[in-house]
Amino acid sequence: MGLNLFNGKNEEEKEVLKDVLEDAIETEENLMRTYLITAERIHDNDELKERLENFAEGNAKRTKQLIDELNENKE
């Protein structure tokens, strides 16, 4: 499927890459929640609400890609 980021890496390098991916997943999930919560609170600006929902959707897609990458690169 995708490029295996872990090929040719020693255990320490693999752990660093795993930590980076896990941190990125957490960041994307936090941003997604923030955008969705903010969008829910907006009642007078449909355009802004839609943009925030689109941002959250982008975060959801990146989160899935990061999770897929992490799963592909497990030993």
pTM above 0.85, yes or no: no
What is the Cα Rg of the chain in Å? 16
**What is the 8-class DSSP label of residue 6?**
T
Q: What is the pLDDT of residues 6-46, one digit of tens each?
A: 666 788 888 899 999 999 999 999 999 999 999 999 999 99
Top pLDDT among 3 and 32 is at 32
pLDDT for the residue 64: 97
Number of H helices, E strands in the chain: 2, 0
For the residues of 37-57, what is the DSSP string, one character each?
A: HHHHH--S-HHHHHHHHHHHH
